[in-house]
Amino acid sequence: MSDLNLRGGTVVTAEASFRADVAVRGGRVAAVGTTIPDDDVETVDCTGRLLMPGFIDAHTHMDMPFGGTITADDWDSGTAAAVAGGTTVLVDFALQDIGGTLGGAITTWQAKATGRTRIDYGLHVAVCDLNDSVKQEIPSLPARGVCTVKVFMAYKGTPLFTPDEGLLEIMQIARDANVMVMVHAENGDAVAKLQEQALLRGNVDPIWHARTRPEATEAEATGRAIRLAEIADTVLGVVHVTCGGAADEIRRARDRGQIVHGETCPQYLVMTIEDLEKPEFEGAKYVCSPPLRDASNHDELWRALSTGDLVLVGSDHCAFDFAGQKELGRGDFTKIPNGMPGVEERAPVLWTHGVRAGRISPETFVAVLSTNQARVHGLLPRKGLIAAGADADIVVWDPELPLTITHANRHNANDYTPYEGLELVGAPERVYVRGNLAYIDGDVVAEPGSGEFLPRSLGASAAAEAA
Ligand code: URP
Ligand code: ZN
Ligand code: ZN
């Protein structure tokens, strides 16, 4: 663990940007200011660079069985890509086995990550097979360091789907256990019916993935989940918000005084439904759920980020190879594994298309990628801040660094990038994890196994905010 002084940079927090040096001692931030202790430590010249708290991505899927196959990234390749994009913490989804327990999912996921992860990580659990013993298990999750559960309102016809009565009951139990419920909000019944009708008419191509999941299926389910959370009197997370209609539901709920934390993802800010029409089955590379939308939604999502109606940008990194995985859905779009990579691209895409384009401020960039993530997901005050006492997870960001995304310069393992050819300006130059250099100038130097499990607690985050 190296002690360092980062000198000459501009610190960007969720509230303000200011000229300051940062002293790192023993893996933590020791001081931030214009007069930090000199000591006899390594000095890093950060002139012209921005110093930001390490980014937190609370929406990834590493080494996950899904759609009849398994994601292409394990914790080694997935966290290499994460740290290359400035991300120093993942909160990944541990999937309950069919017939299994939530505790079993945590144990399985910790075994996958241990010895492989290059950055610190926490876990959510995803309810994939609701039964009475699963409900009884929810209050035990905080003792395992897990304070969030995901419930799928989509994927009707598979055990992942949870009907409203189950969702409401989970919310009631979670409220009393200080656990936050996060929903995948799509109307599973409507999507299943539309899929059946499309296939009967011979509509099998990737574009039908999106056409059978219209915006209204997401907006309706988002509103329904919000009202169920109101009935249960509990906080709600809505992941991967794709469209203005769903963002409107969240804004209206927040205006009424409900606590709803909405997340969107970079693909919904820059890609469109037209990507699913690419020839030669290439559209399958863009199949994710909820699906990409028409471009009119981009402005609405950017606006929601800038006003604070949406407070998080996660990647929903869920990478599959085109060869042998996406291809499972040739001739039947419902068999295309859902998901795309994005953990490495999340911050650079948001910088160029958000900050440089004048849609969000640098402070909002830090908020939605780091500080709000720590706040919402129970990681304050250890993560998400550049402040004395916090872990020295620091991104040295070069706001002028040109970056053309291509598969060859990606650090993850799948065989394509949906961002191929995208030209960006602004990327990490160096990344530190607990004071250790983890990434520099294109090279990941963090070793597999150097990351640690992070127990999370919503109570701890709330106490840190109140302090
Ligand atoms: O298409 C997606 N989003 N795949 C990952 C699973 C999920 O629902 O987040
Ligand atoms: Zn989902
Ligand atoms: Zn996801």
pLDDT at 1: 63
* Residue nearest atom 8 of ligand 1, based on CA coordinates: 289
Q: Cα–chain-centroid distance for residue 33?
A: 31
* Residue nearest atom 3 of ligand 1, based on CA coordinates: 289
* Residue nearest atom 5 of ligand 1, based on CA coordinates: 339
Block means of pLDDT (10 residues each) for the chain, 467 residues, are 92 98 98 93 98 99 95 98 99 97 98 98 97 97 98 94 98 98 98 98 98 98 98 98 98 98 98 98 98 98 98 98 98 98 98 98 98 98 98 98 98 98 98 98 98 93 75
Ligand 1 binding pocket includes 339 (Cβ within 6 Å): yes
Closest ligand 1 atom number to CA of residue 154: 8
Q: Are 116 and 79 in contact (CB under 8 A)?
A: yes
Q: Are 320 and 314 in contact (CB under 8 A)?
A: no
Euclidean distance between CA atoms 335 and 325, whole angstroms? 10
Candidate from 61, 66, 69 with most ligand 1 atoms within 8 A of CB, to mutate: 61
pLDDT at 440: 98
340 CA from centroid of ligand 1 (Å): 8
Which ranges constitute the DSSP H helices of 138-232? 164-177, 188-200, 207-211, 215-232
Euclidean distance between CA atoms 44 and 42, whole angstroms? 7
What is the residue type of 448? P
Residues 6+ apart with CB under 8 A from 248: 219
Q: Which helix (H) or strand (E) holds 375?
A: helix 372-376
65 CA from centroid of ligand 3 (Å): 12
Ligand 1 binding pocket includes 318 (Cβ within 6 Å): yes
